[in-house]
C-alpha cells in the first residue's frame, strides 16, 4: 500500500455510547490523547462486554447517521462516487461492527485446556483480555473503512484507542474527528489529526499495540518505533498482487472482474490486481476483453464515475511509471495532472525490470505479461516478495488448488478479485513484506486481545517428592509424573 498519515483529538463528553451528543473541544497534543485513553483503560471502563457492545452500536450509528457527511467528505477529498464510497467504505464498517457485536459474548468466554498430568488434580483455561491502549494509523485510500474497522476490533477486544487518519484526505479526517466523539466514549476513543510530525509524536508514546495500514517502507518505521516500547504490531501493508489467468479460464468473466478490481477507487487499493500473468495462447483475447470491459464499466461519461488520484504527487508518480514501462499500450495512457486523473491503462508485456513491474502501482494501470504456462506464472510470483493478495482464474479446480498450494500470499481469491476482503470470518492480512497479523471477525478480536493462561491447582495432595532436596527416589517419582 502506498502512503499514509494523521488527525485532531476530541475531548470527553459524558453520554451513553452510540447516542450522539455535541462533541467537546479538540485536544491537538498526541501525548494528551495517549494520556486520556490510557487513563480510561486503567479505570476499567473498557473491559465490560456491555461497554464494548455499546461502542460497536455506536460505530454502526456513526456510519448510518453520518453517511451524508462522510460521503460528501470523500467526494471533496478525491471525488469518490457516492455508491462506490458507500459500498467500499461505509457498509463494511457497519457489517463488521454488527458481526463483532453478535459474537462478542461467545469469543470472550474462557477456553478450557488440558492441564497436564503434573497439574492434576487441577484445571487450566485461557482468558482473552484487552491489550490496553491501541494506536490505529489509517491510510487515505479508504479513509473510513481502514480507520473504523480496525477500531471496531480494538473496541470489541476491550481496548481504548487513539485513531490517526491520513492528512491526505483532510475533509474525511475532519469529519471523523467531529463524528467519533458524538457516538463513542470520548474518554476512551480519541481522534488525532495532523501530518507526519503528529504521527511521529504518537509513535513515541508507549502504546500497547499499534495497528498500521500503509506502505511497506513506512511499516518498517512503525515497527522500529514499536520496538522502543516493545509494543505489539499489526501491519497491513501491500505490494504487487498478481493475477494468474489460465488458458481454460472464462475470459469474459476474468476480464470484467479484473477490470472492475483495477478501476475500483482508481486502482488505489492495497489488494487491487497489480499485474496479470496470462497464458500466451489466450493473451490477445484476454487483452481485447479487458479493454472492452474498461470501456463498459466507465459508462458513457467516465468523468461521472471516476475517482481522482489523491494528489498531484501521485499523479506524477503514475505518469513516471508509464513513461518508463516499455511494452505496448493497449488502451489509455492519458494523464491530467491538474485534474488528478490517470486514464485506465493496459500495458502489454512491459519491461520486467521497469518501476511499473517492481513497485506497487496504486493506480489505474494494468500490466499484462504473457507466460507459457501456469507453472511459469507460479515461478514468477514465487521469485518476488510475498503479495498481500493473489488472484487465479481457471475453469479447473485442480489448477486453483495447485496455485494455492504452490504459492504464498496474504489471501487468495479464485475466479474473482478483492472479494475475500469482505468474508466476515476470513482473517485478512499480509505475510512478510505485505504485512503481519490479521483482522476481520474473530481474527480481529484475537489480534487485539492477549490470551492469558490460568492454572488452578488443588490444595491436596501436596506431594512431598515435588520439593527439594532431591534424591534418587524423588527423581524416579518426578520422572514418572512428568
What is the residue-wise DSSP string for 245-279? E-TTS-HHHHHHHHHHHHHGGGG--TTS--EEEEE
Regarding beta strands 242-245 and 275-279, do their DSSP bridges make them parallel or antiparallel, or are they unpaired?
Answer: parallel
425 is catalytic: no
Q: Calculate the alpha carbon distances from 305 to 92, 300, 335, 336 in Å.
A: 21, 10, 17, 16
Cell of 105: 459474548
Please tell me the distance from the alpha carbon of residue 93 to that of residue 62, in angstroms, as a whole number. 10
Rounded to a whole number, what is the largest CA-CA distance in the chain? 89
Neighbour-count burial of 276, counting CB atoms closer than 10 A to its CB (0-12 exposed, 13-18 middle, 19+ buried): buried
Q: Which of 167, 187, 236, 447 is catalytic?
A: 236
CA 15 to the chain's CA centroid? 30
Query: Comparing C-alpha atoms, which of 300, 307, 317, 378 is closest to residue 339?
Result: 307
Q: Confirm whether 67 is a catalytic residue.
A: no
Closest CA to 382 of 411, 350, 408: 408
DSSP state of 420: G
Q: Is-contact 268 310, C-beta < 8 A?
A: yes
Question: Hunting for cell 469529519 — which residue is that?
Answer: 175
Short-list 23, 4, 300, 328, CA closest to 136: 4
SS3 content of the chain, % helix, strand, coil (to 5): 45, 20, 35
Strands (E), 266-388: 275-279, 328-331, 335-336, 341-342, 345-348, 365-371
Q: Which cell goes with 329?
A: 499500450
Rounded to 10°, the helix 49-65/67-78 angle is 60
Q: Residues 167, 270, 360, 446: which is the catalytic one?
A: 270
3-state secondary structure of 64: helix
88: DSSP letter:
I
Catalytic residues: 236, 270
Amino acid at each position: 500500500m502506498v502512503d499514509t498519515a494523521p488527525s485532531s483529538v476530541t475531548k470527553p463528553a459524558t453520554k451513553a455510547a452510540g447516542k450522539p451528543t455535541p462533541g467537546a473541544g479538540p485536544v491537538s497534543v498526541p501525548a494528551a490523547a495517549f494520556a486520556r485513553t490510557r487513563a480510561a483503560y486503567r479505570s476499567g471502563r473498557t473491559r465490560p462486554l456491555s461497554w464494548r457492545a455499546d461502542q460497536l452500536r455506536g460505530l454502526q450509528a456513526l456510519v448510518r447517521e453520518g453517511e451524508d457527511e462522510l460521503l460528501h467528505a470523500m467526494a471533496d477529498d478525491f471525488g469518490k462516487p457516492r455508491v462506490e464510497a458507500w459500498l467500499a467504505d461505509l457498509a463494511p464498517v457497519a457489517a463488521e461492527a454488527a458481526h463483532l457485536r453478535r459474537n462478542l459474548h461467545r469469543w470472550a468466554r474462557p477456553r478450557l485446556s488440558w492441564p497436564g498430568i503434573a497439574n492434576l488434580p487441577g484445571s487450566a483455561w485461557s482468558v482473552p483480555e484487552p491489550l490496553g491502549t491501541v494506536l490505529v494509523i489509517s491510510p487515505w485510500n479508504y479513509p473510513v473503512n481502514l480507520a473504523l474497522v480496525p477500531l471496531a476490533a480494538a473496541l470489541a477486544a476491550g481496548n481504548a484507542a487513539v485513531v490517526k487518519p491520513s492528512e491526505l484526505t483532510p475533509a474525511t479526517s475532519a469529519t471523523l474527528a467531529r463524528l467519533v466523539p458524538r457516538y463513542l466514549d470520548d474518554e476512551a476513543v480519541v481522534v488525532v489529526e495532523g501530518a507526519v510530525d503528529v504521527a511521529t509524536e504518537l509513535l513515541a508514546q508507549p502504546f500497547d499495540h499499534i495497528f498500521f495500514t500503509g506502505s511497506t517502507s513506512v511499516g518498517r518505521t512503525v515497527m522500529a518505533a514499536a520496538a522502543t516500547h516493545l509494543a505489539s504490531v499489526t501491519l497491513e501493508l501491500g505490494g504487487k498482487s498478481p493475477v494468474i489467468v489460465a488458458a481454460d479460464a472464462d475470459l469474459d468473466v476474468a476480464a470484467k472482474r479484473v477490470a472492475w478490481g483495477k478501476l475500483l477507487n482508481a486502482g488505489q487499493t492495497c489488494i487491487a490486481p497489480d499485474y496479470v500473468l496470462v497464458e500466451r495462447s489466450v493473451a490477445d483475447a484476454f487483452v481485447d476483453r479487458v479493454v472492452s470491459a474498461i470501456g463498459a464499466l466507465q459508462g458513457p461519461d467516465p468523468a461521472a464515475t471516476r475517482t481522482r488520484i489523491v494528489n498531484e504527487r501521485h499523479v506524477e508518480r503514475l505518469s513516471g511509471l508509464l513513461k518508463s514501462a516499455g511494452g505496448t499500450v493497449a488502451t489509455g495512457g492519458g494523464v491530467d495532472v491538474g485534474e488528478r486523473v490517470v486514464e485506465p491503462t493496459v500495458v502489454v508485456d512491459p519491461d520486467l525490470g521497469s518501476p511499473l513491474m517492481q513497485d506497487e502501482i496504486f493506480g489505474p494501470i494494468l500490466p499484462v505479461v504473457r507466460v507459457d504456462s501456469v507453472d511459469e506464472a507460479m515461478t514468477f510470483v514465487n521469485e518476488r516478495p510475498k503479495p498481500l493478495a493473489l488472484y487465479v482464474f481457471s475453469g479447473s479446480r485442480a489448477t486453483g488448488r495447485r496455485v494455492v498450494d504452490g504459492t504464498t500470499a496474504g489471501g487468495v481469491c479464485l475466479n474473482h478479485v478483492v472479494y475475500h476482503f469482505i468474508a466476515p470470518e476470513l482473517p485478512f492480512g499480509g505475510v512478510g513484506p505485505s504485512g503481519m497479523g490479521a483482522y476481520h471477525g474473530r481474527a480481529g478480536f484475537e489480534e487485539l486481545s492477549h490470551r492469558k493462561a490460568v492454572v488452578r491447582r488443588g490444595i491436596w495432595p501436596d506431594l512431598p517428592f515435588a520439593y527439594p532436596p532431591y534424591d534418587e527416589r524423588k527423581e524416579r517419582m518426578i520422572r514418572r509424573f512428568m
